[in-house]
A and B are shown apart, each in its own frame.
Chain A
Amino acid sequence: MSGGSITNRIRTLRFLNGEISQAELGQRIGVTRQTIAAIEAGKYSPTLEAAFRIAHAFNVPLDEVFQWTADCG
């Protein structure tokens, strides 16, 4: 399986949505503040359902929140 990296724009989207806190976003999608922090830092990849919930919370398509880049070579 080829590698790749997942990035996200959660920090930007939180800012654009009235600087909502990690705790508030976590509450909206049903995870803890620490899990949002881990997702935002790229240290934890959420389940597909949680990813959709995050996109829904910001009212944007999934690919505006998460991006995947394939490793070259």
Chain B
Amino acid sequence: MPYREKTAWLTLIAIALTFGPYFGAVAARGRAVGAVPDLHQLGLFAIAVAAQVIIMAAGFAYFAITSPHDARTPPDERDRAITSRSITFAYYVLIAGMVLVGGIMPFNSSGWAIINAALFMIVAAEVVHYGIIVISYRRQA
């Protein structure tokens, strides 16, 4: 498996393990999520970010130890083409999300609802980005 596919899988798994439960907790709290600042909500977000940083750091350290040559090799033309295509798709997701969050939600929502919607769209764009990388490598494998 190409090194960059491995790192894309790592990122997807890290997102699933951190922001999956985070948005699950957000959905479970529903309207209990209060206005800014809501320290409980802020705490959940901090835990999700810290957990993602730890998972990513551990994963990259593991890859650097088990396949040091691959980790040092710069991306080649196929890697760059795949990254470019995935960023293009993720960009559309992010723009659609920002239009929704920044242009529509301020009229009927406030506080953490807007923040969480923005976070969700950023995470969704990241999932699309790394998901397309994984799919592209699988299709060309």
* Inter-chain contact B139/A32, CB cutoff 8 Å: no
Main secondary structure of the interface of A (DSSP, over half): loop
Q: Is B73 an interface residue (CB 8 A)?
A: yes
Q: Within the complex, which residue of B2, B77, B139 is in contact with A34, where a contact is CB–CB below 8 Å?
A: B2
Contacts across chains A and B counted by CB atoms under 8 Å: 32
User: In the complex, which residue of chain B has the Cβ closest to the Cβ of A50?
Assistant: B77
Please tell me the number of chain B residues within 8 Å of chain A, measured between CB atoms. Answer: 12
Q: Is B85 an interface residue (CB 8 A)?
A: no
Shortest Cβ gap from A43 to chain B (Å)? 4
Q: Is A15 an interface residue (CB 8 A)?
A: no
* Inter-chain contact B2/A32, CB cutoff 8 Å: yes
A residues engaging B (CB < 8 A)? 30-32, 34-35, 37-38, 43-44, 46-47, 50
